[in-house]
Amino acid sequence: MKLSSAIFVFLADRAACAVFSREVSSVDYNSAPPNLSTLANATLFNTWRPRAHILPPSGKIGDPCMHYTDPKTGLFHVGFLHDGIAGATTDDLATYTDLMPDGRPSIVAGGKNDPLAVFDGSVIPNGIDGLPTLLYTSVSYLPIHWSIPYTRGSETQSLAVTYDGGRNFTKLSQGPVIPSPPFALNVTAFRDPYAFQNPALDSALNSTQGTWYIAISGGVHNIGPCQFLYRQHDAGFQYWEYLGQWWQEPVNTTWGNGDWAGGWGFNFEVGNVFSLNEDGYSEDGELFMTLGTEGSEAPVTPRVTSIHGMLWVTGNITKGDSVAFTPTMAGFLDWGLSSYAAAGKILPATSKASAKSGAPDRFISYVWLTGDQFELATGFPKAQQNWTGTLLLPRELKVETLPNVVDNELAREPLSSWRVSREESGQVDLQTMGISIARETYDALTSGSSSVEAGRTLSEAGDVAFETSPSSKFFVLTANISFPSSARGSDLQSGFKILSSELESTSIYYQFSNESIIIDRSNTSAAAKTTDGISSDNEAGRLRLFDIAQNGAENIEILELTIVVDSGVLEIYANGRFALSTWARSWYANSTDISFFHNGVGEVTFGNVTVFEGLYNAWPQRK
């Protein structure tokens, strides 16, 4: 069985190579694309494939999960759904090594507990017998969706242990350790168990220090989305005590007016629970979560089609009859319509990667960029591409403080994604969740050749071409943009046009009228005109630039942009607290120009504009 499947994979790889060598002559990126769905399988394998991102050698990637740092080796393990759950290790958060040959999975469906599927799981690094132990959702009935009645017994939580450094997770020969949702609850889902430790919960619940907890995501029909909390009962991780629905939101409601975190939807998924301080992870830090919301189309914001939200939230833990979590602020971990199902894990200072870079304890999160699902653009030429989806770059999360903010109504908006942490004579400090590319990853991305573009001050509408544009579609663009005070509330739009030629371009700009970073994809891809499933919808995310008090003057906060282009993958980071990612599938080989973009009234200064070209190959050991 094993042997024949190995031969199959080998032959398939050969086939892919043969097809690939035909591709060079059959696909011409200097002339208009045909309907790409009519091309031979795997012809588009390299067309939009990223180099520096995490994805399997071929096929589809799903939710990230099963991450952990191996206490024995210090290697960080990154997992993801891929015909089961597959994984890779890294000692530098830049390059990765597949755990199994050809990126095959480390655990697959088909056992007694999981005849149909293995869904997301999380790892207790020192689990059963001190070995990394996976607690995962074992699936027995499908379909499962919040909008249909739930089949009893669909999702249970089971254990598997690795005895070989994470290559194979061996299922325990026994039934599930959490065999059903809580008594008599008509759930919408009961999955994605996230194991964590938390001293604040220990003291609120009078638990033994270092007790493990599990947050399971889901919801209850007609009541709302929620998170179910469990506590470890025994040293063998066999029994888990139910502590209640510690967080429940009313069905189909929003955080505040929906502007800053959209809606809670009908069902929660992939809830991660962790604690942060201003350096990164701290067990005594403030409790944060990341979570996916389903059916969460925010009623008040005209987001195009997304029915999912990739959010973060922080809040208070209170102890009444049971322990409860109440949100105090919430925001988007990524605003992209295709960004979902983030999974993170503690990366201790003692890990190999952190020991090399000198980083403190961190919480590192990977977001999934779905290749085919959430933009409702169906018909993408999947067989021609031969892979679907990717994980986004690893992100460090922390508590981010913005000092010297003018104390006005912009800073004081309630139920937003920030809070006032200090106030003094007309100024406040604001705090929010910080989101940035992991430092090692950023350093690797920007270590290639770089060119500094002279700063510009623009006041006329129009594009101004860069003196030096990249020659490839693998680069990072960083820039600081300063705006006049008159920009607030005006029609000003300012940013860059990238992946640009006479025939294609993608505009990325800040728009003051609704405080948004917008990616205009209407002219991104000539292929969108000939081929189904290539979305041209705009992407947008909301970022408030506050008024900053500086030497007696009040200026609009500088927009600090980092734009990563990794072939078809586009990630935008801003001001240490904003991320928006999507696909930008340009077609023509010469669509690589960059220009400054300016529209509306106002004088804008672009400074510190740098292009780092080349990126790096995240998979040096793959052929």
Ligand X SMILES: *[C@@H]1O[C@H](CO)[C@@H](O)[C@H](O)[C@H]1NC(C)=O
Q: Binding to ligand X (CB under 6 A): which residues in 459-478?
A: 478
Task: Write the interaction track for ligand X spanning residues 364-393; mark x where CB under 6 A is met and - where it is not.
Answer: -------------------x--x-------
280 contacts: CB under 8 Å, gap ≥ 6: 359, 360, 361, 362, 363, 396, 397, 398
Pairing mode of beta strands 559-566, 474-482:
antiparallel
Among 21, 322, 326, 408, binds ligand X (CB under 6 A): 326
Applying CB under 6 A, does 458 fall inside the site for ligand X?
no
Q: Which amino acid is at 102?
A: D
| Nearest approach, Cβ of residue 557 and ligand X (Å) | 8
Q: Which stretch binds ligand X (CB under 6 A): 36-44, 276-284, 363-371, 466-474?
A: 36-44
Is the CB of 423 or the CB of 532 nearer to ligand X? 532
Q: Which of 211, 373, 421, 480 binds ligand X (CB under 6 A)?
A: 480
Return the residue nearest ligand X (CB atom). Answer: 59
The answer to whether 291 touches 298, Cβ cutoff 8 Å, is no
Candidates 303, 352, 544, 598: give the one binding ligand X (CB under 6 A): 303
By CB under 6 A, tell whether 21 contacts ligand X.
no
- What is the closest distance, in whole angstroms, from the C-beta atom of residue 590 to ligand X in the complex? 4
Would you say 108 or 349 has its CB closer to ligand X? 108
Which one among 26, 126, 316, 617 touches ligand X, defined by CB under 6 A? 316
Q: Please report whether residue 26 would count as binding ligand X according to CB under 6 A.
A: no
Q: Does 349 bind ligand X (CB under 6 A)?
A: no
Amino acid letter for position 109: A
Query: Within 41-60, which residues bind ligand X (CB under 6 A)?
Result: 41-42, 58-59
Q: Which stretch binds ligand X (CB under 6 A): 10-18, 234-242, 393-401, 484-492?
A: 10-18
When asked if residue 429 is in the footprint of ligand X (CB under 6 A), the reply is no
Q: Could you say whether residue 489 binds ligand X (CB under 6 A)?
A: no
Q: Are 77 and 99 in contact (CB under 8 A)?
A: yes
Whose Cβ is closer to ligand X: residue 290's or residue 493's? 493
Query: Per CB under 6 A, does 252 bind ligand X?
Result: yes
User: DSSP secondary structure string, 142-200?
Assistant: ----TTSPPPTTSEEEEEEEESSTTS-EEEPSS--SB-SSSTT--EEEEEEEEEEE-HH
Q: Specify the stretch interacting with ligand X by CB under 6 A; choose among 99-107, 123-131, 394-402, 412-420.
A: 99-107
Query: How far from 76 is each of 93, 189, 281, CA to CA, in Å?
Result: 8, 30, 15
Query: Got the DSSP string for 313-365?
Result: EEEEEEESSSEEEEEEEEEEEE--TTEEEEEEEEE-TTSHHHHHHT--SEEEE
Contact 279, 401 (CB under 8 A): no
Determine how many CB atoms are found less than 10 A away from the CB of residue 8. 10
The Cα-based distances of 404 to 167, 415, 431, 436, 591 in angstroms read 50, 21, 12, 21, 41
Residue 23 is given by DSSP the state: H
Q: Which residues pair with 197 in a beta bridge?
A: 212
Nearest residue (CB) to ligand X, 308 versus 352:
308
Q: How many residues bind ligand X (CB under 6 A)?
A: 56
Closest CA to 427 of 279, 340, 533, 548: 548
Binders in 164-193 for ligand X, by CB under 6 A: 168, 170, 186
- Residue given tokens 């020969």 in the structure block: 173
Residue of 5, 38, 472, 617 interacting with ligand X (CB under 6 A): 38
User: Per CB under 6 A, does 232 bind ligand X?
Assistant: no
Note whether 586 binds ligand X by CB under 6 A.
no
**Cα angle 287-289-290, degrees, rounded to a multiple of 5:** 160
Q: Which positions lie near ligand X, rule CB under 6 A? A: 12, 15-16, 19, 30-31, 35, 37-38, 41-42, 58-59, 105-108, 149, 168, 170, 186, 206, 221-222, 252, 299, 301-303, 316, 326, 328, 383, 386, 455, 478, 480, 501-503, 514, 516, 518, 530-532, 538, 540-542, 558, 560, 588, 590, 607-608
